[in-house]
Amino acid sequence: MLSDAFPIKTIDGVAWEVDGETDQAGDGASWVGDFVRDFRLSPATFDKKRYLTQLRGYMGAVKRALAESGATEDEIAAFEKGASAYAKKITANFAHYEFWTGESNHPDGMVVLLAYRDDDTPYFTFWQHGLQRHEN
């Protein structure tokens, strides 16, 4: 879903933001289209209630995966606290996001967020604890 070929910023210890590039028209549409194609993302539609239901299921799956991977209770608690706070930021700005899923469209899978900064720079947001790093 993501490559370190892009500049990645850690946000609040729970999310990664990947800034895009604006094209000559200044709207970033070309970069977004390339990113979506390269990582095989599919558009998804959510209202706030449905998104929060999906997010609760997803966060439960991440919590279970953290426990199974040997994370400590303190690490899991920190994840839950940070994820909850970040989810509140998302819901407070819900109308500003577009939603994308990976090619598996797994019901408890990560929903990737797309938004635009004030200067029209597009950026995708990923839940940090929901991705595993793979080396080539």
Q: Write out the chain's pLDDT in tens, 136 residues.
A: 566 667 789 999 999 998 887 656 555 567 677 777 788 888 999 999 999 999 999 999 999 999 999 999 999 999 999 999 999 999 999 999 999 998 777 767 889 999 999 988 889 999 988 875 434 4
pLDDT at 8: 85
pLDDT reported for residue 52: 95
* Sign of torsion over alpha carbons 74, 52, 134, 114: negative
Q: In terms of CATH architecture, what is 8-130?
A: Beta Complex (2.170)
Nearest by Cα to 115 from 101, 99, 131:
99
